[in-house]
Amino acid sequence: MAALLRPTTSTYVKPHDTKTMDTPDEEDHTFCGIMFDIVAKRGLPVETLIVSSLWVRGHLGPLTVWSTPGGFGGKERDAAAWTRHYERTRPPSPVDLVELRLEPPVLVAPGDRCGLYVHSARADDLGLVYDDAYADSGRADPQDAFVAVRPGLAHLSPTPFSDVGAWWGAWRGPRAFVGRLGLGVRYKLWNPPVRALFPRAFRAVVRTLLLANTRRRTPWGRLHPEIVLYVLNMCRHDWFERPERPRKRRRGATRDPGRNPPRLCRFVTKT
């Protein structure tokens, strides 16, 4: 019965499924807050991206962290559109990053956008460090295989979502988040409808095992096909990836490919 009711999503988030991503840090500015978007990438067998913490630095003080689905655009002043995940007063840490654990974590599906907002209620302009994010500055948006961090707006008011700030306004953009994202990944489990999301090496193993299962006189061929699908369903997407090994150069070999062309191998098939 279990072979016929294969799960579609893993129930684990183990240490090797968690990671961090640091953003560039030029220390261009400090003030009360930064509001920005993250985008969970497509193309991997990921069910959910989990943002478990944000790391920031500055003189900190009374801190809050908020999120909103779909991105922050048009919601800068709408507190009702946001969910608070953190509220605590932290001592100054102008050099070292401080972790802010989110409760509950923020969940983002592949292809979706989520707005994040970190705010310090200090009455001065030293609360949080953030950077410029001008397109002509040569800075690319930070990203990795799972997530991209987009530019946002700096908040110059000690009151969250307030339009009353410095004499030149309460919002400045484009600005970039400075710090670190603590991430977890919940993966999809292999099933025929999602096979295209899995790496080429995994798909090759699936094809080989299914072909081997048609040889009924072998031990593997005696298994019911549903048992084979169940075994594949329990395999992680990266189990069949081969680690890259550095190539060894032969003694006396030169780096010039023109002087040492590769040898051609001839395969002879006997009949």
48 and 131 share one domain: yes
Question: In 10 A of CB 12, how many CB atoms?
Answer: 9
Do both 159 and 224 map to the same domain?
A: no
Look at residue 1 and tell me if it is in a domain. Answer: no
- 49 in the same domain as 38: yes
Q: What is the pLDDT along the chain (271 residues), one digit of tens a residue?
A: 555 566 666 655 443 467 788 888 888 899 999 999 999 998 888 889 999 999 999 999 999 999 999 999 999 999 999 999 999 999 999 999 999 999 999 999 999 999 999 999 999 999 999 999 865 556 678 888 899 999 999 999 999 999 988 777 899 989 999 999 999 988 888 888 888 888 899 899 999 999 999 988 888 888 888 888 888 888 888 888 776 666 665 565 555 444 444 443 333 333 3
Give the span between the Cα atoms of 49 and 116, in whole angstroms.
14
Asked, for residue 86, whether it belongs to a domain, the answer is: yes
C-alpha distances (whole Å) from 237 to each of 28, 34, 65, 119 are 41, 36, 33, 38
Question: Is residue 3 within 8 Å of 98, Cβ to Cβ?
Answer: no
Q: Would residue 245 count as lying in a domain?
A: no
Phi/psi for 266 (5° steps) reads -115, 125
Task: Tell me if 256 is assigned to some domain.
Answer: no
Question: Quick check: is 119 in a domain?
Answer: yes
103 falls within a domain: yes
Say yes or no: 194 and 158 in one domain. Answer: no
Give the CB-side neighbour count of residue 220, counting CA atoms within 13 A. Answer: 11
Shared domain for 206 and 160, answered yes or no, is no
**Is residue 193 domain-shared with residue 182, that is, in the same domain?**
no
In 123-265, which ranges are E strands? Answer: 128-132, 147-149, 152-155, 171-177, 180-187
Domain that holds residue 219: 189-233
The model scores a pTM over 0.75: yes
Strand (E) or helix (H) holding 204: helix 200-212
Would you say 181 and 21 are in contact if contact means Cβ atoms under 8 Å apart? yes
Asked if residue 68 lies in contact with residue 115, where contact means CB atoms within 8 angstroms, the answer is yes
Q: What is the CATH number of the domain that holds 31?
A: 2.60.120
Q: Which residues contact 213 (CB under 8 A, 6 or more apart)?
A: 220, 221, 223, 225, 228
